[in-house]
Each structure stands twice: as structure tokens, then as C-alpha cells.
Amino acid sequence: MEYEAVIGLEVHAQLLTESKIFCGCSAAFGAAYNTHTCPVCTGMPGSLPVLNRKAVEFAIKLALATDSHVAPFSLFARKNYFYPDLPKGYQISQYELPLATNGSVEIPIPRTDGGKKRVGITRIHMEEDAGKLFHDEAKPFSYVDLNRTGVPLLEIVSEPDIRTPQEAADYLRVTRTILQYLGICDGNMEEGSFRCDANVSIRPTGSETFGTRTEVKNMNSFRHVERALAYEIERQKKVLDGGGAVVQETRLWDPQQGITEAMRGKEEAHDYRYFPDPDLVPLAIDPQWIEEIRKGLPELPLQRKERFTKEYQIPEYDAGVITTSKALADYYEECVRFFPEPKQVANWIMGDLLRLLKEDEKEVEASPLPPQHLAEMLGLMKDGIISGKIAKTVFEEMYKTGKGATEIVKEQGLVQITDEDALTKTVEEVLQNYQNEVAAYKSGKDKLFGFFVGQVMKATQGKANPQLVNEILKKHLH
Ligand SMILES: [Zn+2]
């Protein structure tokens, strides 16, 4: 039996507001435990929440950037449950009437030239985050840090439009990029400011009805999302092919073992007894405010990609790769400003820079090689001071040491040899050393020409100007 997967994603994005969603405490990450707390976010009786206007503004920004409908009227509800990281005994969240509905984002279709697929967004709602528990393995203790309690979150729920693990990762990348371009979430998956749960089911290919789904949690990188979903889809196939039935349950991804496991201990089928929070008035949004926010929206990834293809005349593929991250697109533009040959800059960034960053598991923000240095190196290449081959060495050296191109070229004596007399001498030596090959070449083995070029380059440690070597060799071999 052939199956197709049906995947829907729930993203939690932590907003970059200065203060929490219902109190004035700092929402910053990484402070000493329980220092960003007050009676409101620790749930002291009689304290009253007050909605953070900035958090609403950020939510509206995302709604507009994803073509969602902003509800003129939405409600905050209490989601009741007990857990030690939630001192109030309920989480304030939007439930029946969310802030925004019916949006979408476009993801690239792999191996097509600019093909796009629309993934629907069911809803975007605002809620508060819970605290964090730390379990001491050695002692029978757990600790709770309430700094995160009340930090504003957006929950972004997609339609079940996703069919493959790769599409899921693409959807997450696009969503994260939009959040970053809007400047409302840093998108850091490791620190948990961008988290994702997935609903996964499979059905016979061509069928319209949904299969029983499982919820997969604990995936904290794009790679883990892809691996976890691929595993879960295979697992469900085996269950069905073996004559069994998929059980609706929450499963945790275990990155060490590379498997998903049914979650134990926590109740399934919660009844949260949602009801409107009596301490908060309904959220009524002035349409004029929405229009003001719309006018102030920054350039978004797709618009920037289009601008790059027009303004810099680079292929759509290149523009797509470079604009996937705001920081990378900024890096690119900075570099082009110093060295206005856009396609060449794109090639070096997409090739060498991204490769080295990937090897180091670094983001471009942490690149030890600033855009000015890349531009400087390209300038040296253009002026014929270094060859393309040496440029590769210089690039790696710049990346390793953080030094500029000119400095490295000087230090290591990498200046290209364009002195015809010096190169002629080297050519003559090479031909002297390979007399048999020279004879073979003269009797018709044309292919040996490349061999001679290679030997001259080797003798000069790659510093010879290749064009000049070609010319001199031709003269000597005729
Ligand atoms: Zn507080």
C-alpha cells in the first residue's frame, strides 16, 4: 500500500517585547533564576493582569505578514491545569476567539525553478509562556525558574497542508524568517524562543479522509523536525501494514536514539475547562491601528528576494538562498556595497562562506569573516593581485584568523606572479624535467598541455597567473 503523510504544525514563537505580556517584568532570556518576577506573573491572589500593547502590535504584524484576517474582537481565556511551572493554576491564552485566522505562507517546491506551495495558517493567537523546571539528577529535587512565566508567545497553527518532512522544515524556515524580518522573534530554536510540535497522520495515497494522528514533541532543530517526522511516518506505516491501528497519543522525539516514544505520565485528552478570563477585557482592535501597522511593515523575505533578482540581476535560486535569513541578506548587501559585482559575491557567499559556517555550526551573525573582508579579497582578485585558486586559500585563512585579505596576502607572500621573465624560467625548468612528456605532446598527445600547466602551478605554489602560464607554454611548445 502506498501512503501519504498529512502534517500540521504548531509553532510557539516568543515575542521580543521588553516586558512580559501581563506585567512590567523584563522578558529577557538568561537572567539569574526568579529575578524577573512579580505578584502578577507568579500568580499571587488578588493581582491583576494588564495586557502589553506591544505584544498585540507584534501579533498584528505577523497576522498581516501572513495575509491573515485580524479579528476586530478577540478574547483571552483561562486554560486550567496544574503543573509546578505554572503557579496560577491556569495559563492565559486565546481560545475560542483568536487574534487572527485564515492566513498562509508560501514555501518553495524543491527541484523546481521558483515553484511555490501555499500552506494555510488556521489561526494565530496570543498566550503567556509557563516557567521552567530543572531536575537534579543526583538529588531528589526539582527547581523552578519563573522568569519565563508570562513571557508573550504567539501560537501559529498551520492547516494540515504539509505532506513531507522536508516541507515541514521548509514551512518552519519560512515562518521563522518572516518573524525575524518583522523583528518580533529571534527564532532561536536552541533557547526555545521558536518551538514546534507536529500533528502527523498517514492515509492511502489518493484518499481524502484523515488517518488517526499522533502529536510529536521535543524537536529543537530543523534537522530534528525532519528526522522525527520521517521516523514517525515510517512507524505509522509499519503499524498499518502489520494490520494494527495508530493510537492517538503524544510522542516525544528522542534525538539520541532517533525514535519517537509515547509520552508517559501526562494525561492525554485534557479537559482544560477554558473560560474567558474575568480579569481581562475583550481585545477590541481599532482598524486604523491595523492600517498604521500595515504601513510600517518592513520588507519581507519574498519582497526582498524579488528585489534582489531585479536590482542585482542574480538568479532566483541565489536570491532565494540568500534571503532565507535576514542576517545573510544583510551580509550580502553590505558586501555588494563594497564590491559591486553581485553574482560573484553571491557565489562566494553561497559556496565557501555557507560551507564553512555549516562545518562550524555557526549562523552568519557569528561569522568571523565580515562582509568588508570578502569584498576586499574580491577586489584583490579583480586587480589580478591574487589568482582565483589563491583566493580560496585566502578566504579560509580570513575565516580562520579574522584578518583582512591584504594582510594575509602580504604575510604569506601570496601575490600572484605576473612577471613574464620569472614565469618563463619556471616553464623552461618544468619542460626540462618532463622531456618524455614534451616529446609525447609534440607527437600529438594534446591532453598533456593541462599537465604542464599543472606542473607550473605546482612549482609556484599556485601563485602563477594562469593566463600568462598558458601563453608562455604555448610559445615554448610550438
Ligand atoms: Zn511579573
Helix or strand or coil: residue 129?
coil
Strand partners, 154: 13, 126
| Distance from Cα 80 to the centre of ligand 1, integer Å | 20
| Distance from Cα 20 to the centre of ligand 1, integer Å | 7
| Distance from Cα 59 to the centre of ligand 1, integer Å | 20
420: Cβ contacts below 8 Å, ≥ 6 apart: 468, 472
pLDDT of residue 373: 95
Average pLDDT of span 377-391: 89
Most distant CA pair in the chain: distance in Å?
A: 99
Report whether pLDDT(224) > 60: yes
Per-residue pLDDT tens for 301-331?
A: 989 999 999 999 999 889 989 998 889 999 9
Residues 249 and 204: their CA atoms lie apart, in Å, by 21
Report whether pLDDT(10) > 90: yes
The rounded percent of the chain whose pLDDT value lies above 70 is 98
Per-residue pLDDT tens for 225-261?
A: 999 999 999 999 999 999 999 999 999 999 999 999 9
| Distance from Cα 22 to the centre of ligand 1, integer Å | 7
| Distance from Cα 26 to the centre of ligand 1, integer Å | 8
| Distance from Cα 41 to the centre of ligand 1, integer Å | 4
Average pLDDT of span 399-427: 87
Per-residue pLDDT tens for 257-287?
A: 999 999 865 555 568 999 999 999 999 999 9
| Distance from Cα 176 to the centre of ligand 1, integer Å | 27
pLDDT of residue 26: 97
| Distance from Cα 319 to the centre of ligand 1, integer Å | 43
pLDDT of residue 269: 53
**Overall pTM > 0.85:** no
**Rounded to 5 degrees, what angle do the CA atoms 183, 186, 189 make?**
150
Per-residue pLDDT tens for 344-369?
A: 999 999 999 999 999 988 888 889 99
Report whether pLDDT(413) > 60: yes
Most confident of the ranges 337-351, 362-376, 414-428: 337-351
pLDDT of residue 76: 97
Per-residue pLDDT tens for 39-68?
A: 999 999 999 999 999 999 999 999 999 999
Per-residue pLDDT tens for 201-220?
A: 999 999 999 999 999 998 98
For ligand 1, a single-atom ion, the residues with CB < 5 A are 23, 25, 38, 40-41
pLDDT band with cut points at 50, 70 and 90 for residue 74? very high
Place of cell 602560464: 469
Residues 257 and 270: their CA atoms lie apart, in Å, by 29
| Distance from Cα 17 to the centre of ligand 1, integer Å | 13
| Distance from Cα 153 to the centre of ligand 1, integer Å | 15
| Distance from Cα 136 to the centre of ligand 1, integer Å | 26
| Distance from Cα 93 to the centre of ligand 1, integer Å | 17
Place of cell 518572516: 178
pLDDT of residue 264: 65
Residues 369 and 400: their CA atoms lie apart, in Å, by 8
| Distance from Cα 36 to the centre of ligand 1, integer Å | 7
* Torsion angle of the four alpha carbons 175, 176, 177, 178, in this order, in degrees rounded to the nearest 10: 50
70: Cβ contacts below 8 Å, ≥ 6 apart: 60, 63, 64, 99, 100, 285, 290
| Distance from Cα 150 to the centre of ligand 1, integer Å | 7
